[in-house]
Amino acid sequence: MATTVAGLSSAEAGDATLRTALEQFHRAADHLKLPDKHREILTSFKTVYETEFPVELDDGSFRVFKGYRVHHNSARGPVKGGIRYAPMVSLGEVKALAMWMTWKCAVVDVPFGGAKGGVIVDPHSVSRAELQNLTRRFTSEIAPIIGPDRDIPAPDLGTNPQVMAWMMDTYSIQRGYTVPGVVTGKPVAIGGSEGRFEATGRGIMYVLAEHLRESGGLAGRRVAVHGFGNVGGVTAKLLTQGGAIVEYVCDRDIGLYRKGGLDTFSAYAHVQQGNALATWTGEAERVAPEDVLYADVDVLVPAALENTITAANASRVRAPLIIEGANGPLTTEADDILAERGVTVIPDILANAGGVTVSYFEWVQSRDFQRWREDDVNAQLQRYMVDAYRGVAGRCVVGADRCNLREAAQWIGIERVIEATELRGIFP
C-alpha cells in the first residue's frame, strides 16, 4: 500500500482528506443553521462504485487494479468531475474530491453536481499500451453509471487528454456511435474544447487578478508555485504573462528559485515535452521542493496535492496570500492557523474552478457538435470566474460575522444545492 509524505497509508490520508471536506461543510452548515435533513442529505453520497479489474500487461501476465467512481450529489444536474490515476488513490480521497466538485460547480454556477473517480496506479510505472488497456477496462466497468446526461468524467492528477480520448472511444464503441459528450478534456481534434487544457491555470490567473484589481493587479507580485503539472505549470506561465514575477516553482523532485523571476515559459515547455523539471537548464538556483511553500513572496499557489499545508507546517508559510490551485491543499487546522495570522486564502472551490467551467463549455459544444474559438472560450471563462469571485467576495463583507473567502464560497455552494433540492423535492 502506498504511503504519503507524512507517513500515512493512502487510506489514512484519504480519510484525513474526507475529514477536511466534512469539517468545512459542517462549519458552513452551522453558520447557515442548516436543518438536520439537509446535513444528512449533503453529507451522503448518491453512488459509490468500487471495482477491481484485471489488465493484461505487455509481458503477457496480468495485474488486478482497483478503481472508484463516486457521485456525491446530482441536485443541480448531471454529475461532473475528474478521474485520477495515482498510487495513493483511496475511497476517502475520492469521496472528498467528489463533494468538493459539488460545491465548486455550484460556486461557478455551471449546471452540474459533483463526482470524482480514480484508479490506484502509478501511471509512470506502466507502458502506454498498458495504460490504454487499463483505461478501456476501467471505462467499461464504470460505463453503467457514466454518460453525457448522467456523469461526465474529465482529467485530473495522472490523466490527460489522451486518456479521455480512450474513455470516449470505449464508451462510444459500446453504444455503437460517437458520444463526445461523455467526457471533457478530450483532445481538440475529437471534440475537445479550445482552451480546456489551460483552463484551470487560466481561471486561477483571472481570480487572482480580480482579487488584486483594486490594489494594483498582478504586475510585480512575487509568486511561488508549488507543483508543476497541468495546474501549477500553466498557472506559473500565465501569471508570468500577466506581469507577475514567479520566483519559485517545484515538482516533487526539485525546487527552483530565481530572484526577479524564472523563465516559466521555457520551464513549462521543457516539462511539456516529457522532460523532468530537474533537467531544465534555464537560469535558477536549486532549492528543496518544500522550501517553495515557505518562500518570502506575495502570493503562494499550492498546486500539487491535498493536505500539503497542515498544522505541522502552516506556521512556516510566509506569504500573506494563498490561492489554492490543488483541491484541498490546506487542512482545517492549517486554515485556522493562517486565518489567525491574517493570511488570506482564496479557496480551491472558487480558484481552480476554471477547469470544470471550460469542461461545461466543452460539454455544450460536444452535445451540439459546435466549435468555439479560443478567444471566445477564454472571454466566457473570465466572465464566469470574475462573477464567481465577486459573488464570494461580496458575500464576505455582508453582515458582521467573521468571514473568510472559503466560508463564503462554501455558503454559496451549499445554498445553491439546497435551493435545487427544495425545488425538485424528494422523490417519491
In whole angstroms, how close is the CB of 348 to ligand GLU at the nearest point?
8
Instruction: Considering the complex, state which of residue 82 and residue 195 has its C-beta at the smaller distance from ligand GLU.
Output: 82
Of 102 and 352, which CB lies nearer to ligand GLU in the complex structure? Answer: 352
For residue 356, state whether it binds ligand GLU (rule: CB under 6 A): yes
* Binds ligand GLU (CB under 6 A): choice among 135, 359, 365, 382: 359
Cβ closest to ligand GLU, residue 42 vs residue 353 = 353
What is the Cα–Cα distance from 293 to 316, expressed in whole angstroms? 8
Q: How many residues bind ligand GLU, per CB under 6 A?
A: 11
Rounded Cα gap, residues 11 and 146, in angstroms: 25
Separation between Cα atoms, residue 276 and residue 281, nearest integer Å: 11
Nearest CB to ligand GLU, comparing residues 230 and 262: 230
Question: Under rule CB under 6 A, which residues in 116-155 are in contact with ligand GLU?
Answer: 154
Cβ nearer to ligand GLU, comparing 141 with 156: 156
**Spatial distance between the Cα atoms of 92 and 94, rounded to a whole number of angstroms:** 6
Is 186 a residue that touches ligand GLU (CB under 6 A)? Answer: no
Contacts by 210-215, CB closer than 8 A, 24 or more apart: 210/385, 210/386, 210/389, 210/390, 211/321, 211/323, 211/346, 211/389, 211/393
Alpha helices in 312-352, H assignment, sequence order? 332-340, 348-351
Q: Any residues with CB less than 8 A from the CB of 244 and at least 6 apart, and which?
A: 218, 219, 220, 221, 222, 223, 299
Q: Residue 183 interacts with ligand GLU (CB under 6 A)?
A: no
Min dist CB 306 to ligand GLU, Å, is: 11
Q: Does an H or E element contain 247, and which?
A: strand 245-250
- β-pairing, 299-302 vs 321-323, is parallel
E strands in 260-409: 285-287, 299-302, 321-323, 344-346
40 or 149: whose CB is closer to ligand GLU? Answer: 149
Catalytic residue among 95, 104, 116, 237: 116
Of 15, 109, 141, 156, the residue at the interface with ligand GLU (CB under 6 A) is 156
Q: Which residue stretch of 167-175, 217-225, 274-282, 354-362 sits at the interface with ligand GLU (rule: CB under 6 A)?
A: 354-362
> What is the C-alpha end-to-end distance of the chain, expressed in Å?
43
State which of residues 17, 135, 139, 327 lies at the interface with ligand GLU (CB under 6 A). Answer: 327
Which residues touch 289 (CB under 8 Å, ≥6 apart)? Answer: 226, 250, 251, 252, 253, 254, 255
Minimal distance, residue 219 CB to ligand GLU, in Å: 28
CB under 6 A: which stretch of 45-53, 215-223, 352-360, 417-425 binds ligand GLU? Answer: 352-360
Decide: is 264 part of the binding site for ligand GLU (CB under 6 A): no
Looking only at residues 69 through 88 of this chain, which bind ligand GLU when binding is defined by CB under 6 A? 80-82
Contact between 355 and ligand GLU by CB under 6 A: the answer reads: yes
**225 vs 262, beta carbon nearer ligand GLU:** 225
Q: Would residue 116 show up in a list of annotated catalytic residues for this protein? A: yes
Q: Residue 412 is placed in which grid cell?
A: 454559496
* Dihedral Cα 125, 127, 130, 131, nearest 10 deg: 70
| Integer angstrom CA distances of residue 300 from 60, 203, 306 | 47, 16, 15
CA angle 334, 335, 336 (to 5 degrees): 90
Q: Which residue is nearest to ligand GLU (CB)?
A: 82
CB of 11 to ligand GLU, least distance (A): 21
Which residues carry out catalysis? 116
Please report, as ranges, the residues that interact with ligand GLU according to CB under 6 A: 80-82, 154, 156, 184, 327, 352, 355-356, 359
